[in-house]
Chains A and B, each alone.
Chain A
Amino acid sequence: MTRLTGCESCTDLTCSSTIEVLGSDVSKNVVTAYDRVQSRGMSACLFGSGGTCCRNCNMGPCQIIDGVEEMIGICGATAETVVARNYARTIAAGTAAHADHAREMIFGFIATAKGETPHEIKDEEKLHMLAKVFEIETEGRDKNEIALELGEKALAEFGKQQGTQVMLKRAPKKRQELWKRLGVEPRGIDREVTETMHRTHMGVDQHYENIMLQGARVALADGWAASMLSTDLTDIMFGTPVPIRAMVDLGVLKEDMVNVAVHGHEPLLAESLCMAAQQEDIQALCKKVGAKGVNLVGVCCTGNEILMRRGIPVAGSFIQQEMVLATGAVEAMVVDIQCVMQSVAQVAKNFHTEIITTNYRAKMPDAIHLQFDEVDSLNSAKDILKRAIGNFKKRGACHIPKDTKLDVVVGFSHETINYILGGRFRSSYRPLNDNIINGRIRGVGAIVGCENYKLPDDVHVIVAKELIKNDVLVLATGCAAQALGRAGLLNPEAAAKYAGPGLAEVCETVGMPPVLHMGSCVDNSRILIAATAMVEEGGLGDDISDLPAAGTAPLWMSEKAVSIGEYFATSGVYVVFQNLPVSGSKVMKKYLYEDMEEMYGGMWDTEPDPVKLAHKMIAHIDKKRAALGIDKKRERVLFDMQMRRDLTDGTGLTDVGCHGPA
């Protein structure tokens, strides 16, 4: 294969650290995804892209053409049925990924509650909050006892055969009623995945609307159950993120230290590595080989997890996983599950780097497998680190981009947002709602999801800059958040530089960046909770669908992104992607882009151009502002005694700044 250097062949590559690494001598033999995009030599299958390729039975594969009678499936399946089935399967796969991640975290949580791991229950307040949701008695009980019961009850949610998911009750009342009315309340998490697979099997569910109801149900099982449980239990175990300074981009690798990159999704392994790296025997081993210590760096969402909780630097996002290795400076890349490209083992072959797989579910050729043991996790972690330290002396030429490391402030969990707006004594979402009502902040935009080699790599940044310029506060997660960090948008100083005057003023008052990093992709559940908190704070309607808010996952690549998009849309949010595999059916497009708004108040949309995409989000936000009647300038209300009395008993005005009981 002729080597195509990404930076020369791909005009859309803008990330300066990537360009620098790929341009250096050290990486001259490295083949990256950029090269493969170029060298594949054929464009994507149109039926696949449009969602109209059905290969669910052996009569096919059938390529369906919408509106051409001869081109329906052999079984008679129409375009909308096939698109809906494929779409539902994509969602189910995303949910399955989050659910399996969550399950693993809960196993770790239970082991921790039993005292079998080196971790401990760190956030007791959150433990009690969640115990209440599960109706677990907390009075006079030890935290581990409560945690054990919580862990077991959470685990039971996966295999539940009767009833619906407990966590649904954390949604606004009106939303819960809507789900009930539509019959999309998820039951057991695993059941919804199984049922989706069953219903999309040959000859089962053949009505696109009915299939899409199950699509909604399996997605809700992700967002409001699996992902949310994972986030919350992880917070309880490893600590709920608080604002913290850190660094991102390839420049965080260190020449004089043993660089260990942690890539994947589950933080159990990464947390253990963090603990192990601090221990004396490991430090001593480093000294022995002439290294100053272990420099643990994150990649992809594992990076997000330890970035948010520990301020551990992130070397690269999904799109940079090969570039991290291409520096030649990494002793080991430790991977677990999801979004790990098979190519990393091939890139590593150019260097002394070892790729270590740690999860029995996820192995690859040319990597070493060291099964991570959550019970003996510290020793597991040490074994991994020892291998990496052993590699240090083998390091050859390396190239670490010096100037590309950016300061970021991260750690914006729902709890953090609540705190930073009012302090310990007045914590609430009131200031956020107030400033949305008074128009300083136009609305809230979520930028989440993946990265995609086939599209320009600066889409997140263009969308984010356009949003904040128009006074839209941006919440970010996943690899999108890292991309925004590399562009300097997670720095508080970005507010004055990029944000519109209203948003800049609020950011300046609070001391926060205009883009708030809320965590990994599983942490999109934090955004659901934040949206619910905004509804409950009052003045912005009584459901998530009333909020001036919109979400996007441009550059999406993983099936998880579709599941996330679907649970946001069915929770009432306007969700716009750059493309979706549904273009092969007019009926399905209408369903996703129009009918869903009638049903859920939220819906899907697509727009390939990043600036136009941002403006579609802004237009939706403006539409919601108008519906709330907060699109006009309001007179200051002055309060006399009677009005002040009414405030306290809750009958007073709730949307003029003053409000009732907190």
Chain B
Amino acid sequence: MSKIICSAAIRGAHNIVDMAEEKYEEALKKYGADQEVSFPNTAYYLPIIYSMLGAKVEKIGDMKDIFVETRKLLPPKVTDNVWLPFLAPALDAGMATYFAEEMFEAVRYLNEPNFYTKTEDPLADNIWLGAADDVVFRKRGVEFVDGSAPGFAAICGTPMDKDVACKIALELQEKNLYIFMHDQSEGVSMAEQLVKNNVQVGWNTRLVPFGKSYTSVIFAIGFACRVALAFGGIKPGDYKGNLIYNKDRTFAFVMAFGPVSDEWYANAAGAINWGFPTISAYDIPEVLPTGICTYEHVVSQIPHDEIVQKAIEVRGLKVNVAKIDIPLSFGPAFEGERIRKDDLFMECGGGRTTGVEVLISKDMSEIVDGEVTLEGKDICDIKKGENLPISILVEVAGREMQSDFEPILERQFHHLINYVQGIMHIGQRNIMWIRIGTAAVEKGFSFKHIGKVLHGKIHQEFGAILDKVQVKISTVQETVEEVVELARGVYAKRDLRLGSMTDESEDVFYSCTLCQSFAPSHVCVITPERVGMCGAYNWLDGKASYQINPTGPNQPIEKGECLDENLGEFSGINDFVNQASRGAVPNVSCYSLMTNPMTACGCFECISAMLPQCNGIMVVNRDYMGMTPSGMKFTSLAGMAGGGAQTPGFMGVSKHYLTSPKLFKSEGGLKRVVWLPKMLKEELREKLMERCEEEGMPEFFDMIADEEVGTTEEEVLAFLKEKGHPALEMEAAM
């Protein structure tokens, strides 16, 4: 009976709005209208309100208008007979609920700054993380759009049996879903149930304890809203665009355990606006006709052992999980899981023992597809704490295989091995490190399973270029050393090949429109000397991707005539971008920040921005949370550089590009760089020093200011003058 649900939702919404308004009025009295309010480190304000109404809540005083709007949405309660249509009012009430809850949580951040941990993982004394900041959001949100996470389950309450809770969490993880946890049943929360059972919770395992009250549901919904804003190119205030984007893209749903209160109904009604249905274990009425959600809106009384399957079906989600025949759970949800000291059974590589992984191509006749061999001791042959050396040699063959693709395939090892639950992989090449957890060993883990994973997944993802894959694993020191020797030769050759490639040496660049469905006018141009701004795609990746999927997002671009060497403007690139952006971007420079800079979707590693007073350029990386001399934090800068528009003076760049000879070529190159966050500077130290040498300014590295020097242009300028920074002598950049 929809009427029961809608009546309850409307009642609940009234309660929630009353409660939130009371808190707001208290806060208004206590702090005054000018007091700033926000969720931690985000450029999206209170994201639901921002997405739906286009309104920025920055100060307590801003909440006044939103409460007026919220009250307008709040319908009268449903009458017992001769009722007026109640579905639409209930949906509006759900929206009012979210507006009120966002403001309630914002006030809570103000009143109790440490109510939530504001971290990626729980702290020892507090498991509730609260709103995802923009660093977490960017990292995780991308997975919603690239398909590695199809959506999320917003769980309210918990099954009372902790093993059942763990099993449901695991099942959801296996479907690659994020699990957002809220509120409790009979005083027990789902997240606590998991922790009690030694399950790692936190963003890294996709098991996210958002908050212990139902109001925290807005963190989940706000996350979905931000995905549409950041990656969907949806404008704030375009509520319909945002809701439909999420209905079609983010396959999320609400999963409720235990008795359902009016307040839960209000939240569930809100979620239906986004096309997120509710699946309840508890006996509540159902709403089966379709329309606002893809299929049913509310289904109930689903037994615990069927609830995940039912949820997937109701949401209309197809999860393509290649079954890898190993006795352990496998999937992206386990990628971020850590093996802590107490859980550790043994480790390989990482400085403890010799370790190496390498992929090489061979002739078809030399390979037996699917063969996985292990030489030496396996896990079952050793005791806890006994570490072994390891070599993982993967040999592939295929008619379309080229040696240029080897590093690309090899780079997959890291996440593929991490996908195995209970196994942790760090590093690459001959600095790789594998940690194996006790739980994995108990489930029967063998080194051969790594081979099975690599064989299965490489076939699945790269079937277009290769036909055969065989894996040779060894834990015998001598063999391992032989493989190390072999690998060193391979690495040297590869590095030489990559290092020798320049934009001049290649006639073809590659486009990347992987994110174009999120920022429709955006086209990345990847050149040998300018890696994609996400840092994930270099020229070789583009080439391989095109080979694998000739109609895919990476297309070859004949660079054509060079129109301006310094700007990096090419006729072929202009034509392509003009067409691919449907006329929105007619010209693009590959090497300039000020003249027709390359557009960005929002997935950039770093943002570069012109500092007019300093006559130089600053670059800030995503992980840097502090203020920058531009007067904006990363999150605000992201708004300037992202969204597919050309904004001279603001541009997304990869870390790799910072060490490219083509960096800001038209503005004078590396010499223009005046400020980098310390963490970025340190990360790139070695390569930057090398570049300084090449530019004939070995002392330049130390002329670049960081946040310790200052976070205002004035402070930076003083430092530049003191150091005699070359940018000050260069012609005005603006």
Residues of A with Cβ closer than 8 Å to B? 243-245, 407, 409, 419-427, 430-435, 438, 440, 491-493, 505-506, 508-512, 636-641, 643-645, 647-649, 652, 657-662
Contact = CB atoms under 8 A, between A and B. Distances in A.
CB-based closest 6 A-B pairs: A431-B291, A423-B91, A641-B147, A638-B318, A511-B86, A420-B85
B291 A430 contact: yes
A136 B318 CA distance: 48
B294 A425 contact: no
A422 B85 contact: no
Contacts of A420: 85, 87-88
B346 interface: no
B243 interface: yes
A214 to B, nearest CB: 42
B418 to A, nearest CB: 21
B7 to A, nearest CB: 10
Interface string B291-330: 1101101000000000000001100111110000000000
Given A409-B83, A425-B95, A427-B88, 14 more contacts: A245-B84, A421-B291, A423-B273, A423-B292, A424-B92, A426-B240, A492-B85, A508-B2, A510-B87, A511-B86, A512-B85, A636-B295, A639-B317, A639-B318
Contacts, number: 151
A72 B248 CA distance: 66
Contact of B249 (A433, A508, A648): A648
Given A435-B291, A438-B290, A636-B313, A245 B82 contact: yes
Given A435-B290, A438-B290, A641-B147, A511 B318 contact: no
Contact of A421 (B87, B150, B297, B517): B87
A407 B147 CA distance: 52
Contacts of A493: 81-82
Contact of A511 (B3, B240, B289, B294): B3
A657 B294 contact: yes
B582 to A, nearest CB: 12
Nearest to B319: A640
Interface residues of B, number: 50
Given A509-B2, A636-B313, A658 B84 contact: no
A639 B243 CA distance: 18
Nearest to A440: B289
20 contacts: A420-B87, A421-B292, A422-B91, A422-B292, A425-B92, A425-B95, A426-B292, A434-B291, A492-B85, A511-B2, A636-B313, A638-B313, A638-B317, A638-B318, A639-B294, A641-B150, A644-B249, A645-B517, A648-B248, A648-B249
B441 interface: no
Given A245-B84, A511-B84, A638-B318, A661 B241 contact: yes
B291 A432 contact: yes
A421 B88 contact: yes
A643 B239 CA distance: 23
A638 B294 CA distance: 10
Contacts of B243: 425-426
A471 to B, nearest CB: 12
Contacts of B87: 420-421, 423, 509-511
Contact of B290 (A423, A424, A427, A657): A657
The majority secondary structure among interface residues of chain A is mixed
Interface in B71-98: 73, 78, 81-92, 95
Nearest to A432: B291
Interface of B: 1-3, 6, 52, 73, 78, 81-92, 95, 147, 150, 239-241, 243-245, 247-249, 251, 273, 287-292, 294-295, 297, 312-313, 316-320, 517
Contact of B95 (A243, A424, A505, A649): A424
Contact of A426 (B84, B91, B316): B91
Given A430-B292, A644-B251, A658-B294, A491 B82 contact: yes
Contacts of A659: 248
A652 B316 CA distance: 14
Contact of A425 (B150, B239, B251, B313): B239
Contacts of A508: 1-3
A416 to B, nearest CB: 8
B82 A658 contact: no
B240 A505 contact: no
A419 to B, nearest CB: 5
A162 to B, nearest CB: 37
A431 B292 contact: yes
A502 B95 CA distance: 28
Contact of A662 (B85, B240, B249): B240
A440 B291 CA distance: 12
A639 B316 contact: yes
A648 B517 contact: yes
A556 to B, nearest CB: 30
Contacts of A637: 316
Contacts of A423: 87-92, 95, 273, 292
Contacts of A505: 288-289
Contacts of A660: 248
Contacts of B294: 639, 657-658
Given A424-B73, A639-B251, A244 B88 contact: no
B320 A640 contact: yes
A651 to B, nearest CB: 11
B287 to A, nearest CB: 5
Most chain B CB within a 10 A radius of its CB, from A440, A644, A648: A644
A366 B116 CA distance: 82
A544 B105 CA distance: 49
B82 A492 contact: yes
Contacts of B318: 638-640, 643
A8 B77 CA distance: 47
A422 B272 CA distance: 9
Interface core residue of B87, B88, B91, B243 (most chain A CB under 10 Å): B88
A506 B291 CA distance: 10
Given A426-B273, A431-B290, A639-B318, A492 B83 contact: yes
Contacts of A662: 240-241, 244
Contacts of B251: 639, 644
A494 to B, nearest CB: 11
Most buried by A among B83, B289, B295: B289
A511 B83 contact: yes
A425 B52 contact: yes
Nearest to A658: B294
A422 B249 contact: no
A434 B251 CA distance: 19
A641 B317 CA distance: 9
B150 to A, nearest CB: 7
A552 B83 CA distance: 28
B52 to A, nearest CB: 7
A648 B83 contact: no
A637 B3 CA distance: 28
Contacts of A657: 290-291, 294-295, 316
Contacts of A424: 73, 88, 91-92, 95
Contacts of B290: 431, 434-435, 438, 657
A57 B251 CA distance: 72
A422 B88 contact: yes
B276 to A, nearest CB: 12
Contacts of B317: 638-639
B316 A658 contact: yes
A422 B52 CA distance: 15
Contacts of B240: 425-426, 662
B91 to A, nearest CB: 3
Nearest to A492: B83
A274 to B, nearest CB: 21
Contacts of B292: 421-423, 426, 430-431
Given A420-B88, A424-B95, A511-B85, A506 B295 contact: no
Most buried by B among A433, A435, A641: A641
A139 B706 CA distance: 49
Contacts of B82: 245, 407, 409, 491-493
